[in-house]
Structure 1
Amino acid sequence: MSAKTIRDQRDRRGLLIILSSPSGAGKSTLARRLRDWDAGLRFSVSATTRAPRTGEVDGADYHFLDESAFKAMVTDGDMLEHAHVFGNFYGSPRSPVQEAIETGNDVLFDIDWQGAQQIRNSALGQHTLSIFLLPPSISELHRRLVSRGKDDAETITRRMQKSWDEISHWDGYDFVLINDDLDQTEEQLRSIITATRLRRSQQPGLNDHVRKLQSEFEDLP
């Protein structure tokens, strides 16, 4: 890590960067591209009550919890957001996110509109940047779901049915992008993140710097 990167992290607070979209609109691919662009971006590791799939590692892919442990974290305020999806609970543990933003590290969230709303309404909401990705068309959304080969026909139908509810909440986000070209959308995301890192709320040292400038004025002959 360069000296400049260390200084930049020390001089600002981290961001909670939320990417949301219906399944198939490209958020997972773009999240990976953002991590390649900036290795300092941390991906929020969600907690879930579902069973691990083959090859998944606890603490890396998900924090795998039983339902009682998950609900206890919710009750104790240790989840920034949580939801019940397709028969399982999912949520974002608060502690690692709090630590990241206090040390100037950005955290990337791949969550739905309900989770985004919960985080925006949390104590960390002022440090949130929310971005919604729209597909260029519904037919293209369906084509992408089919072509990636991850789901059976029943699951694809269920995801398509859920997509309209997700899209209907597009206006609750700071930025909305139509992802019809991955390279262009990635460039737009980079610009948005770079600019938002410079918000006043992300630069805790600004007040001290302005006071220093004021004192220098007072010392002028």
Structure 2
Amino acid sequence: MSDAKPIRGTMVSADQAEQERRGLMLVLSSPSGAGKSTIARMLLERESNLDLSISVTTRPRRSSEIDGVHYHFRTREQFEEMKDKGELLEWAEVHGNYYATPRGPVENTIESGKDILFDIDIQGTFQLYDKMREDVVSVFILPPSIDEMKARLRGRGEDPEEVIMRRLETAVGEMRHWSKYDYVVVNEDLERAYQNVKAILKAERLKQKRSGAVAKLMDGMVADLQDELKGREG
């Protein structure tokens, strides 16, 4: 049996009311070693209706990375050309390299009703705030301790010690901005941290401002109820 309700000549089901909405931009940020990339991967593996925003970067590709999957690797000249043409939604320089979000894919994704996940730094987040704040849901991921953060960075085995120390220095400035994020999640237990971010995503998807179908549903129900009450008065 369908749960669709007649609304002034239209039919809007509960599923439609929940699904016909504008997508959101879920931003995860953290100091290096807090585990945000792992949480992002878990979300993409387990959550439907969620795409990853693949950044453009001038950083050299690591041996474990694939162009077009982890990043779009570009030269500085190519990056500057994209920036000059207005093709970047946000960009930042981190540790001497540039990172950016292409504008077109993001706008197309959220307008289609699909959510998009950002694994970006604080500079990029604040630029998204400036341009598309109503669409952004930001989560700051924290490690349980500095010792754990250092252990995770060294455990990767990909960066020399001087790079690790530079990342720790950067973390001092990053963690000062935690209060500017919508949510904060401490990643002491990975599964619990993932579940907390998942709960945030679910709640934000249900916000009334994102769903035109819900607005239509409510307006129609109120109008139909008013007609019925007027009929009884008559």
- Give me the TM-score of the superposition, normalised by structure 2: 0.85
Matches within 5 A, 1:159-178: 159-178=167-186
Flag the 1:25–1:17 CA change in 2: closer, same or farther, 3 A.
Answer: same
| Partner residue of 1:65 out of 63, 66, 74 | 74
Q: Is the 8 A contact 1:97 1:107 kept in 2?
A: yes
Distance (whole Å) between structure 2 residues aligned to residue 55 and residue 160 of structure 1: 22
The one-letter code of the counterpart of 2:128 is I
Flag the 1:174–1:57 CA change in 2: closer, same or farther, 3 A.
Answer: same
> Is residue 97 of structure 1 aligned with residue 106 of structure 2?
yes
Distance (whole Å) between structure 2 residues aligned to residue 56 and residue 183 of structure 1: 25
Structure 1 residues without counterparts, runs of 5 or longer? none
138-147 or 51-60, larger mean C-alpha shift:
51-60
Distance (whole Å) between structure 1 residues aligned to residue 44 and residue 97 of structure 2: 27
Q: Is the 8 A contact 1:10 1:103 kept in 2?
A: no
| Deviation for aligned residue 1:50 | 3.3
Matches within 5 A, 1:35-114: 35-54=44-63, 56-114=65-123
> Is residue 158 of structure 1 aligned with residue 178 of structure 2?
no
The one-letter code of the counterpart of 2:25 is L
Provide Cα deviations, 1:132-152, integer angstroms capped at 9, x if missing partner: 011111111111111222211
Distance (whole Å) between structure 2 residues aligned to residue 207 and residue 77 of structure 1: 34
Provide Cα deviations, 1:42-92, integer angstroms capped at 9, x if missing partner: 111111223444464433232233323322332333211101122221100
- Give me the TM-score of the superposition, normalised by structure 1: 0.89
Distance (whole Å) between structure 1 residues aligned to residue 60 and residue 196 of structure 2: 36
101-110 or 206-215, larger mean C-alpha shift:
206-215
Q: Is the 8 A contact 2:31 2:171 kept in 1?
A: yes
Alpha carbon RMSD of aligned pairs, Å? 2.0
The one-letter code of the counterpart of 2:92 is A
Flag the 1:91–1:59 CA change in 2: closer, same or farther, 3 A.
Answer: same
State percent identity of aligned pairs: 41
Partner secondary structure for residue 212 of structure 2: coil
Distance (whole Å) between structure 1 residues aligned to residue 61 and residue 161 of structure 2: 23
Q: How many residues align?
A: 216
Flag the 1:55–1:28 CA change in 2: closer, same or farther, 3 A.
Answer: closer
The one-letter code of the counterpart of 1:73 is M
Q: Is the 8 A contact 2:17 2:211 kept in 1?
A: no
Q: Which has the larger radius of gyration?
A: 2
Structure 2 residues without counterparts, runs of 5 or longer? 1-12
